[in-house]
Structure 1
């Protein structure tokens, strides 16, 4: 049998129902229209050009950390700057007397590892008479041209005003066996090589067959030799080698007179004048 169907409402009821639905539709439609993009909304500010990120599907696999670091370290373009880049300061030029003494810089390292490098090669004795062989070494790490330093030492020792004056002796440099080993060292290494003498990192010494020149004194000299670093360096070589030759300390003979080369001129002239030579 066919299913019974509900009878249609009377015509007047249908009219009233239509009016009610129409009254509900008007505010609902207005609400939906306001929710649609671009409808009844303010236009975006043209100055705001920041794009709105859109959701993207996750990558199939994360990049390795190295790739992420590389991406982070990639330089970003930047606007040109009107501020000029600073110009690096040039390395100061050493005065000729420092270059002559073998210096390449004037910085004084307070200490070093103690590794001593003998300057290779040899320099023959320049004249007749007894020959004293010595080696020259420089502590590793010092700002020194070792060959220039060795040349300064040998020129000083074989100067006519030196210990070999009148043919008494001459000096030859070797990188092998020698009676005297002359060393240029940091203040800390000097103090260790001179033990049991305590140099306080300030003075030089002779210890057995070793002559140790303190690099601080080689660079800075002393106030009494201000303006004459070459003269002080010649004095230092002759004084310490003089100890190796058996000479002891001497005192100032009187105000205004040249200081003996074996006077401790590093500790003051005590009224004497500068003198770098055994036989001035």
Structure 2
């Protein structure tokens, strides 16, 4: 039985004796409110009661429903319009975006990638192209130095070859490039009047520069060692182990691998020009070692040096 305590009575939640029906709390749908009004009329509630029921409980619900419906329509319309606009006019990337690159930057990246690819596929392509463009200039510089040396100018032709397993065509091309650059460097034998040109015809060579597998060094002569480079007659033999690793003594003394390569080429070709090992020795602590000193074996307190000193500028 429902409690009729007046403290719990709510004008929105009462039983009307004249209408004979019970009104539920707010929160019902608008259609439920209309249904209650219809029942009030059927049960012969007075028009005043029915009108009060509708105004009190249904108008608020109707107003809220209309507001919600309008808001949903507005949001849906705006969303559809934005989607349509994006489809018709997609956003353009900004140049500030690091992922977006200007044409010049893209071309630069492609150039770098191509250059790296060439280096990976084989150093011969890159290095031969470089040497082809500068070979004449290098030789012209050597000829000018030789002419200005005041000594008799001598022109030598050399070939390049390999013996044993010393690497592919790329390694041999790199080897020839370094030989050419070193022999015609203005700091080297051109100061003694010598210039050098490469020949692919073994019958036209004054001497041959070999890159040789260490275990095959003694095949040129029993006097050669598998630890160091050697010269036998017109054969200048560069030990592949020294070419790729220099010697610990020289590296500790501060000579880089590139400098060591220049030193060993100039030293062994120096023998072909008539020089002997240790014909000059270290003049004093930290002085430049003479080129023909056996620096790979002992520096004798000198600083490593890859170029002929003034006292070595002669050709036999």
TM-score by length of 2: 0.47
1:258 matched to which residue of 2? 288
| Residues 1:160 and 2:190 are matched in the alignment | no
| Residues 1:204 and 2:234 are matched in the alignment | no
Deviation at 1:170, TM superposition (A): 0.6
Q: For the residues of structure 2 that align with 1:206 and 1:198, how far apart are their CA atoms?
A: 8
Q: For the residues of structure 2 that align with 1:171 and 1:188, how far apart are their CA atoms?
A: 29
Please give the per-residue CA displacement for 1:125-168, whole angstroms capped at 9, x wherever unaligned.
Answer: 432642111111122532252112101111000001111126x1
Aligned pairs, how many? 161
1:218 matched to which residue of 2? 243
Q: Report SS of the residue matched to 1:235.
A: helix
TM-score by length of 1: 0.53
Q: For the residues of structure 2 that align with 1:147 and 1:261, how far apart are their CA atoms?
A: 25
CA RMSD in angstroms, aligned pairs only: 2.7
| Residues 1:182 and 2:209 are matched in the alignment | yes
Q: For the residues of structure 2 that align with 1:101 and 1:245, how far apart are their CA atoms?
A: 29
Q: Report SS of the residue matched to 2:189.
A: coil
Q: Report SS of the residue matched to 1:171.
A: strand
Q: Contact 2:211 / 2:239 at 8 angstroms: preserved in 1?
A: yes
Q: CA, structure 1 residues 181+236, in 2 after alignment: closer, same or farther (shift >3 Å)?
A: same
Q: Contact 1:225 / 1:231 at 8 angstroms: preserved in 2?
A: no
User: Where in structure 2 are the equivalents of 1:3-42 lying within 5 Å?
Assistant: none
Between 1 and 2, higher relative CO (CA 8 Å, sep ≥ 6) is seen in: 1
| Residues 1:275 and 2:305 are matched in the alignment | yes
Q: Report SS of the residue matched to 2:196.
A: strand
Q: For the residues of structure 1 that align with 2:124 and 2:306, how far apart are their CA atoms?
A: 15
- Structure 1 segments unaligned to the other structure (5+ residues): 1-92, 103-122
2:70 matched to which residue of 1? none
Please give the per-residue CA displacement for 1:33-53, whole angstroms capped at 9, x wherever unaligned.
Answer: xxxxxxxxxxxxxxxxxxxxx
